[in-house]
Amino acid sequence: MRVGIPKEIRPGERRVAATPDTVKTLIELGFTVHIESGAGLEANFFDAAYQEAGATIAQVAEIWGESDLVLKVEPPSNEEAGSIKEGGHLISFIWPGENEGLLDTLKGRGVTCIAMENVPRITRAQKMDARSSMDNIRGYRAVVEAANEFGSFFTGQITAAGRVAPATVLIVGAGVAGLAALGAARGLGAVVRAFDVRAAVKDQVESLGGQFLEVTIDESGDGGGGYAKTMSADYHKAQMDLFFEQAKDVDIVITTALIPGRDAPLLWESRAVEAMKPGSVIVDIAAAKGGNCELTKPGEVYTHTNGVKIVGYEDLPSRMSTISSQLYGTNLCHLLSDMTAKGAEAYKIDLEDEVVRGAILLQDGTELPPPPKPEPTPKAEQAKESASKAAKVESPAPAKSKGHGHGGHGASDGTKQTAFSPITSIIGFLLIGIWAWLNFAYEPAPGFEAPTKFLQHLTVFALAVFVGWQVVWSVTAALHTPLMSVTNAISGIIIVGGLLQVNQQAGLVAVVLGIIAAFFATINIAGGFLVTKRMLRMFRK
C-alpha cells in the first residue's frame, strides 16, 4: 500500500506529517512511502534523510494522484482535494466546519477520510491523540513567547543591585495546553496561578505547583472530552470579576480556553487588559478561534496603549516544527499500527473500533453520522450505588457488550453476569466437592500426613485466589498500573516459598515446582519494577 506525504502549502506552516524516524516505522508496518521533495525542509528534515530511511522522493502530482493513503497535517485545499486519487484515503486534521466545500470535494472523489481532531480522548487512544500532542506544544511555546516579550526574570533574583521579585503568571484554562504552560512557567521559577471551570483539574494544577483559583458559584463546567462547556451568565460575571482583580497583580496571562465547535469564549475583557501593569504580557493560545482576550489581534503581537503586549500567534506548534512533526508523525504511526495489526496488506476501516469510528468522517465518499457519545465514567459514589442496586436484581438477562469499552466500566455489567455463569457455578461446586471429600471422606495410609498439610495449603490457596479475585475486580481501572507494582511484595513471598522447596530433603517434583514458582515470580517482580519506573517517570521533570 502506497503512502504519500505532501508538503504543507498553508502560509507559515512548517510542519510535515512524517519524519525520517516515522518513515522507518511506516515501512516496518509494510507501507511504501513516497514524500514530496522539500516537504520536511522547514522542520529541518532533508530529502537525503528520508531517502536513507527508505522513502522515495516524488513530485506533488504523484503524491496526490497515485497514493493509496495521503497523510497530512493541515486540511487539504480544495485544489489538493480535487487531485487526490479516486477512492483514496486521507488522514489529516480536517476541521470541516471551517473549510466549506472541502467535504463535498472529497465526497466527489469517493475518498475515505479520517480527521485527527476527532480521535476520541480515551485511554487507549492517548498514543494517537494528535490534539493533545499539539496542545502540549502550544502551552510550552506560549511560555517561551511570553518570556521573549516580558522584560524581566521569571524566577526571583537577589543581586548586588537589589532584589527582583519572581513573575506572577495566570493561566486561564487548565487543559492539556494550560497544564503544559503551568509546568514550563514553574520550571522557569515563576509563581503560577490557574483557573478552570472544571473543578476536577484542581488536583492536577496543585500537583504541578500552581495555585488553583475558584469562584464562589457552585457550577460544574465539565463538557466532556477534556473540554469545558458554556457557563451560566451569573458564573461568567463572577469569573470576569475574578479576572479583573487578578489583572492588577499578575505579570503574564496565558489563555487557553476552547469549546468544541464554537468560537473561543471571551474571558479577558478590555477592562482587565487596562488594569494590568505596563510591560505585562498576554499570550492568547485561542487566537485562531477568535481569541479569549477581547483585544487580541490574531496572527500578530499587539501593544495596547498602556504598554500591555498581547501575543496572538496562531501557529505556535509550527514554531516548534521539528518536535511537532515528530509527535504528530508518531500519532499517525500509532493509529496506522492499530489499523494494520497484521501488516499494511491488512489495512482496513473497522467501524467496530471506537477510535476509527470516532475519527472517520467519510467512507468511500459517504458521510457517516456522528458516533454515539461514550458513556461517562461513573464517580466512585455513583458506582457503589449502582453496584448495590444491581446486586438486588435477580437473574438479570445477559447483555451483549456494545463496542470496545475501555477502563472497565462500560462493560462491567456484562462481565459480572458471565462471572457467575452456569459453567462457572458447576466448576465451583465440583471444586468444593473435591475439597470436602479430601477433608472428610479420604483416609490416608497410616503414618502418611501429607494430605493433611496439603488440605491446609489448598484451603489457604483457594481462599487467597477467591478473595484476591474479588478485590482486584473491584479496583478502579485507573489504579491497575499502581496495583501491578504492589504485586511485587506478593511475588517476593512466592520466591521465598519456592526457594524453601529447593533443598536436598524435598522430592524431585517439589524441587522442580519450587524452581518454576521462583522463576515466574521473578519475571513478575521485574515487570512490576519496570511498570513502576515508567509510572514514576511521568512525574519527573
Report d(CA 508, CA 78) in Å as an integer.
76
Task: Report residue 448 as a C-alpha cell.
Answer: 502418611
Rg (CA), the chain: 29
Q: Which residue has the higher pLDDT, 88 or 489?
A: 88
Task: Report residue 465 as a C-alpha cell.
Answer: 485466589
Report d(CA 304, CA 429) in Å as an integer.
79
Q: Which residues are paired to 281 by β-bridges?
A: 252, 309
| Amino acid letter, 88 | G
Three-class DSSP category at 97: helix
Tell me what pLDDT residue 306 has. 94
The three-state (H, E, C) secondary structure of 55-75, written as one string? CEEECHHHHHHHCCEEECCCC
Tell me what pLDDT residue 407 has. 40
Q: Is the pLDDT of residue 385 over 70?
A: no
Cβ 255 vs Cβ 289: under 8 Å: no
Q: Which of 14, 67, 131, 132 is catalytic?
A: 132
Fold of the CATH domain 2-118+341-371:
Rossmann fold (3.40.50)
The three-state (H, E, C) secondary structure of 212-256, written as one string? EECCCCCCCCEEECCEECCCCHHHHHHHHHHHHHHHCCCCEEEEC
* DSSP symbol at 200: G
pLDDT mean over 306-323: 96
Report d(CA 82, CA 110) in Å as an integer.
11
| Contacting residues for 526 by C-beta, under 8 A, at least 6 apart | none
Three-class DSSP category at 162: strand
Report d(CA 31, CA 34) in Å as an integer.
10
Q: Which of 68, 77, 121, 235 is catalytic?
A: 121
Q: Is the pLDDT of residue 415 over 50?
A: no
Q: Give me the long-range contacts of 485-491 (CB less than 8 A, separation at least 24).
A: 485/528, 485/529, 485/531, 485/532, 485/535, 487/524, 487/528, 488/524, 488/525, 488/528, 488/529, 488/532, 491/521, 491/522, 491/524, 491/525, 491/528
pLDDT-derived band of residue 217, with 50, 70 and 90 as boundaries? Answer: confident
Please determine whether the domains at 2-118+341-371 and 136-156+164-315 fall in the same fold group of CATH: yes
Q: Is the pLDDT of residue 424 over 50?
A: yes
Cβ 318 vs Cβ 13: under 8 Å: yes
| Positive or negative torsion for Cα 317, 323, 326, 331 | negative
Tell me what pLDDT residue 63 has. 95
Domain ranges for the chain: 2-118+341-371, 136-156+164-315, 436-441+449-538
Q: Which of 59, 126, 270, 470 is catalytic?
A: 126
| Positive or negative torsion for Cα 362, 367, 370, 371 | negative
Cβ 285 vs Cβ 263: under 8 Å: no
Tens-place pLDDT, residues 230-263: 667 888 899 999 999 999 999 999 999 888 778 8
Q: Is the pLDDT of residue 453 over 50?
A: yes
Residue 70 has φ and ψ, to the nearest 5°, of: -110, 130
Tens-place pLDDT, residues 259-290: 877 888 999 999 999 999 999 999 999 999 99
| Amino acid letter, 352 | E
DSSP E strands: which ranges in 415-473? none
Task: Report residue 189 as a C-alpha cell.
Answer: 521559577
Tell me what pLDDT residue 517 has. 84
DSSP E strands: which ranges in 238-375? 252-255, 281-284, 301-303, 309-311, 360-363, 366-367
Neighbours of 302 (CB within 10 A): 16
Cβ 254 vs Cβ 170: under 8 Å: yes
Say whether 501 is catalytic: no
pLDDT mean over 156-168: 91
pLDDT-derived band of residue 344, with 50, 70 and 90 as boundaries? Answer: confident
Say whether 324 is catalytic: no
Neighbours of 471 (CB within 10 A): 10
pLDDT-derived band of residue 528, with 50, 70 and 90 as boundaries? Answer: confident
Say whether 227 is catalytic: yes
Report d(CA 300, CA 535) in Å as an integer.
40
Which residue is listed with cell 469549546? 259
Helix 176-187 / helix 130-149 crossing angle, nearest 10 deg: 40
pLDDT-derived band of residue 225, with 50, 70 and 90 as boundaries? Answer: low
| Amino acid letter, 142 | A
Tell me what pLDDT residue 462 has. 72
Cβ 401 vs Cβ 409: under 8 Å: no
Architecture of the structural domain at 136-156+164-315 = 3-Layer(aba) Sandwich (3.40)
Q: Which residues are paired to 293 by β-bridges?
A: 268
Kind and range of the H or E run holding 535: helix 508-537
Q: Which of 37, 77, 222, 227 is catalytic?
A: 227
End-to-end Cα, the chain, rounded Å = 40
Task: Report residue 89 as a C-alpha cell.
Answer: 484515503
Report d(CA 369, CA 496) in Å as an integer.
58
Report d(CA 336, CA 42) in Å as an integer.
25
Task: Report residue 495 as a C-alpha cell.
Answer: 520466591
Three-class DSSP category at 88: coil
Three-class DSSP category at 449: coil
Q: Which of 15, 50, 109, 129 is catalytic?
A: 129
Between 85-89, 209-213, 403-407, 520-524, the lowest mean confidence (pLDDT) is in 403-407
